[in-house]
Amino acid sequence: MKVLVVGSGGREHALVWKIAQSPRVAEVSCLPGNAGIAQLARLIPGKAEDVAYLLTVARAERPDLIVIGPEGPLAAGASDALTESGFKVYGPTRRAAEVETSKAWCKEFMVRHGIPTAAAEIFDDAVAAHGYVESVGAPLVVKASGLAAGKGAIVCATAGEAHEAISSIMEAKTFGEAGRTVVIEEYLEGDEVSILAFAAGDRYVPMVPSQDHKRVFDGDRGPNTGGMGAYSPVPSYTPEIAERVQREIFGRALPALVAEGRPYVGVLYAGLMLTRQGPKVIEFNARMGDPETQVVLPRLDSDLVDIMEASITGSLRPGMVSWSPRAAATVVMASGGYPGKYHTGLPIHGLEETSTLDSVLVFHAGTAFDAAAPGKAGGGAAPVKTSGGRVLAVTALAGDLRGAVARAYAAVSKIRFEGAHYRKDIAARAIGRLGT
């Protein structure tokens, strides 16, 4: 069968890598892809959010399955348009994807259906938002309601920081139209964990837990990013907590979406805080996380294509999904200055050295071929250069978390590009709790 993957990041590289392992798949293509994905799939140029163009490509390619990776095409209605044109699509409809594309709608949805989440107020007027901060004080979390590439949630330790966040989002339009409405939430304390689930209407199968590192600097300092690293499993995510998450969160959210005429097919991502009162939803996302995908999929023993097709046909069941007991860790190598201004077009060195390392995977996020540079002596692929903020996700597997982290950092040490930045404390807190 032929599979078309839509997207260009590290998540899509991991998806292509896993899909290509299926014995049922003869060809994988990716629109638009990146330099790493090109090693596994045929790249198709174009914009992932251009729904009309996606339809044109699909009609020409006739894939047996289309997998939509990022949130942008889902928000634009790509799943709806492709499905209506007769294609088999893995990814929720635009209305179902509103769990991510409108934080305001999603907050009201969770309150309606008794899904545990942070208390919050919603504002489309900056003056009223500033007044609310004055009345309740800090700490608070100020969120742009729309899509902001994972950077739209600002944790504010003081009222002054909250006022600055409101001004930045609503008045300076830092995130454009995504900041027309803001959600101001109570600050939750506890361990953060990401739980992704294969979803098919009111049926679902949860994946193994992972934890993202959103802040740009060690010790969870600095601004939020799209994610600087992740690990799986998460020691603090106990079987008792898992049972509550299934019962109180997925077990309520998915049937509620069906009841509201928004049946969900795809991966539903729940970003959770494990508070003293129990797990609470920080956010839902309408797709696989990035970089969580890069630690979860390497642990999946089952055929991902089988799972996706079963979700589309409504035949998904828990016995179809099995996991490796090995641990995984990924370290994101980012451009210097990210998530602010950064340079691109910088040559990347050391990728060939990592390709021979045992149990190491390098997923490309912001990379492209440097067509202007000479290829290797005697021919060969063009060199690879940086093309984005998050450049690479270096993932390693081992028998335990400590071993996976050590192996990932050993691989990172072999890769070089000017200004490369990465956190040096991925999973450090979890390893510290495990002791010696």
Q: How far is CA 380 from CA 235, 320, 364, 369, in A?
A: 44, 40, 19, 12
Say if residue 436's pLDDT is above 70: no
Structure tokens at 303: 């055929």
Q: Mean pLDDT, to the nearest integer, of 192-201?
A: 97
Q: Mean pLDDT, to the nearest integer, of 157-178?
A: 92
Q: Which of 366, 360, 363 is CA-nearest to residue 336?
A: 366
Q: Mean pLDDT, to the nearest integer, of 240-267?
A: 98
Q: What percent of the chain has pLDDT over 70?
A: 97
CATH number at residue 43: 3.40.50.20
The answer to whether residues 272 and 258 belong to one domain is: yes
Q: Is residue 108 part of a domain?
A: no
Q: How many domains does the chain have?
A: 4
Say if residue 222's pLDDT is above 60: yes
Say if residue 224's pLDDT is above 90: no
Say if residue 190's pLDDT is above 60: yes
Cβ neighbours of residue 343 closer than 8 Å, sequence gap 6 or more:
335, 336, 337, 386, 418, 419
Three-class SS of 332-357 = EEECCCCCCCCCCCCECECHHHHCCC
- Rg of the chain over CA atoms, in angstroms? 21
Q: Is residue 105 part of a domain?
A: no
Domain range for 161 is: 119-186
Q: Is residue 25 part of a domain?
A: yes
The answer to whether residues 398 and 313 belong to one domain is: no
DSSP-derived secondary structure letter, 416: B
Answer for the pair 68, 6: CB distance below 8 angstroms, yes or no. Answer: yes
| DSSP codes, 173-229 | -TTGGGGSSEEEEEPP-SEEEEEEEEEETTEEEE---BEE--EEETTTEEEE-S-SE
Specify the amino acid at residue 78. Answer: A
Q: Is residue 8 part of a domain?
A: yes
- pLDDT score, position 373: 61
- pLDDT score, position 134: 92
The last residue of one of the domains, among 320, 337, 367, is 320
Give bridge partners of residue 42 from the DSSP assignment. 29
Report the C-alpha gap between 434 and 36 in whole angstroms.
34
Q: How many CB atoms within 10 Å of residue 177? A: 11
The answer to whether residues 213 and 314 belong to one domain is: yes
pTM above 0.95, yes or no: no
Report the C-alpha gap between 144 and 181 in whole angstroms.
6
Structure tokens at 239: 């079987």
Q: Which residues of 221-246 are buried (b: 16+ CB within 10 A; e: fewer)?
A: eeebbbbbbbbbbbbbbeeebbeebe
CATH number at residue 123: 3.30.1490.20
Say if residue 374's pLDDT is above 60: no
Percent helix, strand, coil in the chain, to 5, is: 35, 30, 40
The last residue of one of the domains, among 186, 204, 233, is 186
